[in-house]
Amino acid sequence: MKDYKKYKFKFNPYLESLYQSDEPLIIYKVENGYNIYTHFSKKIILTNRNINKFFKSFNKKKYNKETDLMIGFFGYDLLCNLIGLKTVNQKKSNFYKGIFYKPETIIKIRDNIKIVSKLKHKKLKINFQKTQVSSPFKMNIKFPKYQKIFDYFSRKIRQGETYQIKICTKYRNKSKINPINFFWKLMKVNASPEAFMIRDKDYSIVSCSPETLINKKGSNIFTKPIAGTLKKNNGLDKKKALKFFKNNIKETKEHNMIVDMERSDLSKICKPGTVKIFKKKFVEEYKHLYHYVTLVKGQLINKIDLKDIIKSMMPGGSVIGCPKIRTLELLNNQENEDRNIYTGSFGFIKYNKDMRFNIIIRSILNYKNFSEISAASGVVLDSTAKKEFNENYIKAKSLLELYK
């Protein structure tokens, strides 16, 4: 709440006009406030055919100013294809596989509002979008169907094909949303460290993602796997939540597996012996839940390609399962709908090749007058179907409440 009050109500006439307009923009939560990116001079719609060209384009660029970057997202399907995995039997919504934007203006919302731009402020066309909800949310998988998928994956775990796997469920309704209003309402109750919003002409994304997958500065790279979820109640605080996680065998095994997997992913692109636990097993607090978190650091191999970093780290293992490749194969054969943005990654690549990417979870995709919210929880040998099914609802709850 303090964070929301500090930044939301800073009035700036140009910023308010931008909010009320139909100008495409991105809001991204940063450590000490928010950045708003707009006045995009380039918009690259990624496909399986042009993704290599996109990565290579950074070899020719120089970083001179803050707007020298591309910001956007990789969708789940694109990332699977990048590592040679297909999603052939799934129902497709034909949403974009990924989009990146080149901003010419950055508005920094801190203690003051600062506008970094080489452009004159152009007159904005007011086009206020009111939220309209035309149908209630429906789940794509009812519990009996979830139970069957759960039982199938449990057999695969007992057979040793996977150790943990995340079953995705979707909530969908017919609606148009005002993503600016949704984003600030979400920040009021759940200002997660990797929150972002994209508003474009034909779609919007609103997310309170908590997880940093890649934070690269020079040759140093960090990842912050989250594995472990505990529903909040009046008797809990962060100290008690940490004690619960440490004493819970199922949560500890799940956390250790995911941390080891992401350490392995980092080791493929880092110098030998440099991948280390930077901060071990701590708790982060959110509106409805607590998360169990570890921070891992490594030093990249000299002259590593951007593509190799993305291929090694994405899709993020903490929202897929372990081992990653076989688990992805199992998921892609069982899930009958594409994931679109869910478990893809949003972030930026600077022209000096520094980058930061999250894992897209706790997110709303509004496209073609439909809203889609996805959630997933981890199945391990000690899991029960009912608990994991209910955990998905807990994770989606703060987003579902925005529509009330």
Place of tokens 């073609």: 368
Residue pair 254/262 in contact by the 8 Å Cβ criterion:
no
Q: Average pLDDT, stretch 148-161?
A: 93
When pLDDT is cut at 50, 70 and 90, the band that residue 341 belongs to is very high
CA distance 169 to 319: 13
The two beta strands, 98-109 and 69-74, are antiparallel
Cis peptide before 323 (omega within 30 of 0): yes
Instruction: State the Cα–Cα distance between residues 123 and 14, nearest whole angstrom.
Output: 9
Quick one: average pLDDT of 260-275? 95
Q: What is the pairing mode between strands 220-223 and 289-299?
A: antiparallel
Res 33 pLDDT > 70: yes
| Per-residue confidence (pLDDT) for residue 179, from 0 to 100 | 96
Q: Do residues 8 and 197 touch, judged by C-beta distance below 8 A?
A: no
Residue 58 DSSP code? G
Convert the pLDDT of each residue in 236-257 to its tens digit: 889 999 999 999 887 888 888 8
pLDDT given at position 216: 98
CB-based contacts of 238, cutoff 8 Å, min separation 6? 283, 285, 290
Going by pLDDT thresholds of 50, 70 and 90, the confidence category of residue 126 is confident
Rounded-to-integer distance, Cα 266 and Cα 274, Å: 10
Beta strands (DSSP E) in 110-186 are 113-117, 132-133, 138-139, 164-176
Task: List pLDDT tens digits, range 358-376.
Answer: 999 989 999 999 999 998 8
358's enclosing H/E stretch is strand 355-358
pLDDT at 75 over 90: yes
- Would you say residue 10 has pLDDT above 70? no
**13 vs 287, residue with greater confidence:** 13
* pLDDT value of residue 252: 85
pLDDT, mean over the chain: 90
Token pair 């950055």 is found at 106
pLDDT for residue 87: 83
The pLDDT score that the predictor gives to residue 395 is 86
Report, in this order, helix, strand and coil percent for the chain, each rounded to 5.
30, 35, 35
Encode 361-393: b = buried (16+ Cβ within 10 Å), e = exposed: bbbbbbbeeebbbbbbbbbbeebebeebbebbe
How far is C-alpha 45 from the geometric centre of its chain's CA atoms? 19
Q: What is the pLDDT of residue 2?
A: 46
- Residue 164 has what pLDDT? 85
Task: Average the pLDDT over 70-74 and give the result.
Answer: 98
pLDDT tens digits, one per residue of 204-243: 999 998 889 999 999 999 999 988 888 888 888 899 999 9
Mean pLDDT of 373-393: 88
Residue 32: CB atoms within 10 A of its CB come to 10
Q: For tokens 């449990």, what's the residue? A: 154
The answer to whether 109 and 19 have CB atoms below 8 angstroms apart is no
Each domain of the chain, given as residue ranges in start order, spans 2-216+330-403
Which residues, listed in sequence order, are joined to residue 300 by a DSSP beta bridge? 270
Stretch among 50-64, 137-151, 189-203, 376-390 having the lowest mean pLDDT? 376-390
Beta strands in 177-238 (DSSP E): 196-199, 203-207, 212-217, 220-223, 226-231
Confidence of residue 306 (pLDDT cuts 50, 70, 90): very high
Selected from 2.120.10.30, 3.30.2290.10, 3.60.120.10, 3.30.43.10, the CATH number assigned to the domain covering 2-216+330-403 reads: 3.60.120.10
3 state DSSP class of 105: strand
User: In angstroms, rounded to a whole number, what is the distance separating the alpha carbons of residues 275 and 196?
Assistant: 29
Most confident of 1-5, 6-10, 23-27: 23-27
* CA distance linking residue 399 with residue 203, whole number of Å: 17
